[in-house]
Amino acid sequence: MAELEIIGVARSNYVWTCRIACAEKGVEYRLTRGFPNTPEMRALHPFGKIPAMRHGGLLLCESKAICTYVDRAFPGPRLIPEEPAAAALVEQWVSLVNTAIDPLCMRRYLYAHVFPGTPDGAPDGAAIAAALPALGEQLDLLDRSVAPTGHLAGDGFTLADAFLVPILYYIARLPEAGRIMAGLPALTGYLRRHLARPSVAATEPPPPKPR
């Protein structure tokens, strides 16, 4: 079978999700460096985002499409279950993570720390403060949602967890989110357990460069 190639950079939460999906399925792949908003990525993704994927003649972008393809094209444990109601719950959480949780936690809150656009490169305190009320609400929701089973959808690891864990990993290291999460034992335990999962531990990105 042709080699599968994921194009992007390891630090991207969406690239990490695709790598977790491959690791869960036991799919070997090559990670090819590709940076967002470059001509190379615009040739692979209409908006120049990462990741993209190549497999034989198939070129795909969008992490959900890539992970769903990997799940269906290869044997191994299902990341989206067969059973319609269970599958729908996974789809629901993947959608909530991608349309609400990533935009707030990563694009607004984390970016205000790491890509602040301030003259001296210091974190954007006003943007961080503005994000905190909604951040607290989202983390609280996630804490309540993972409390019953230790997973986001159903009682086993699914694609929903593969989308959420990289986001939590990044924000838990930041002071405000770290403080909020310290008061949310179910979510903290969820993150700790999933970071120890072999597919997640084996694909953990390199540590961020010191500022």
Residues of this chain that interact with ligand GSH (CB under 6 A) are 12-14, 36-37, 49-51, 62-64, 98
Q: Name which of 32 and 188 has its Cβ closer to ligand GSH.
A: 32
Give the whole-angstrom CA distance, residue 47 versus residue 8. 14
Q: How far is the CB of 17 from ligand GSH (least distance, A)?
A: 8
Q: Name which of 39 and 84 has its Cβ closer to ligand GSH.
A: 39
Q: Name which of 103 and 185 has its Cβ closer to ligand GSH.
A: 103
Q: Name which of 54 and 64 has its Cβ closer to ligand GSH.
A: 64
Q: Name which of 32 and 98 has its Cβ closer to ligand GSH.
A: 98
Q: How far is the CB of 27 from ligand GSH (least distance, A)?
A: 18
Q: DSSP characters for 117-162?
A: --TT----HHHHHHHHHHHHHHHHHHHHHHTTTSSSSTTS--HHHH
Q: How far is the CB of 147 from ligand GSH (least distance, A)?
A: 27
CB atoms within 10 A of CB 104: 18
Which of 150, 166, 154, 151 is CA-nearest to residue 199? Answer: 166
Give the whole-angstrom CA distance, residue 158 versus residue 86. 10
Q: Please report how the helices 125-146 and 185-195 are oriented relative to each other, as an axis angle in degrees rounded to 10.
A: 90
Q: Name which of 51 and 81 has its Cβ closer to ligand GSH.
A: 51
Q: How far is the CB of 50 from ligand GSH (least distance, A)?
A: 4
Give the whole-angstrom CA distance, residue 102 versus residue 64. 13
Q: How far is the CB of 155 from ligand GSH (least distance, A)?
A: 26
- The angle at the Cα of 108, spanning 92 to 201, to the nearest 5 degrees, equals 65
Give the whole-angstrom CA distance, residue 36 versus residue 144. 34
Q: How far is the CB of 166 from ligand GSH (least distance, A)?
A: 9
